Structure 1
Amino acid sequence: FSDIQLCYCLYFSDSIVYISVIFGYSIDYISVIFSYSIVYISVIFSYSIDYISVIFSYSIVYISVIFSYSIDYISVILSYSIVYISVILLSIFQ
């Protein structure tokens, strides 16, 4: 090897080492960012699922309350109408 060839070989091997180190660091950074983004996405997803389930359970409670109120109103109206009908029938047949 002449000095120029030796220098070139050393420079080439140094540059390969630098490239591999930078590449390894960038892979580490990418994997860290990727794992963080997966954690954030899963946290946001679980929060949104919690919110959806809470809203869904609230809406079920509201619907059941409204339904029970409407059943109460219907039964009251029905009983009043039965009383009115019976009073009208009694007045007709007397």
Structure 2
Amino acid sequence: MLRRKPTRLELKLDDIEEFESIRKDLENRKKQREEVDVVGASNVDGAVTLSNNTQSREQMIHDRIGYKPQPKPNSHAAQFGNFEF
């Protein structure tokens, strides 16, 4: 394994501003979620709200990592035709 000299990292003003804007955006989202959770908890349909939050959370994670799931065919003929087992 080759050793190399440590790389110097510089923090720029643009980086700080971008960090602050992202942090404020995340805090606003967190506050909105908390407000929705409080309203959803007082609702009679709390179970439906919970499942919607789970789906939206899963969708948000997929969007963040760039995952776009493709539906799998359910027929065996389609699986054998593509050699997927």
**TM-score bin, normalised by smaller chain:** 0.3 to 0.5
Q: From the CA coordinates, give the structure whose radius of gyration is larger.
A: 1
Give the TM-score taking structure 1 as reference length.
0.35
Give the TM-score taking structure 2 as reference length.
0.39
Q: Which one has more relative contact order, counting CA pairs under 8 Å at least 6 apart?
A: 2
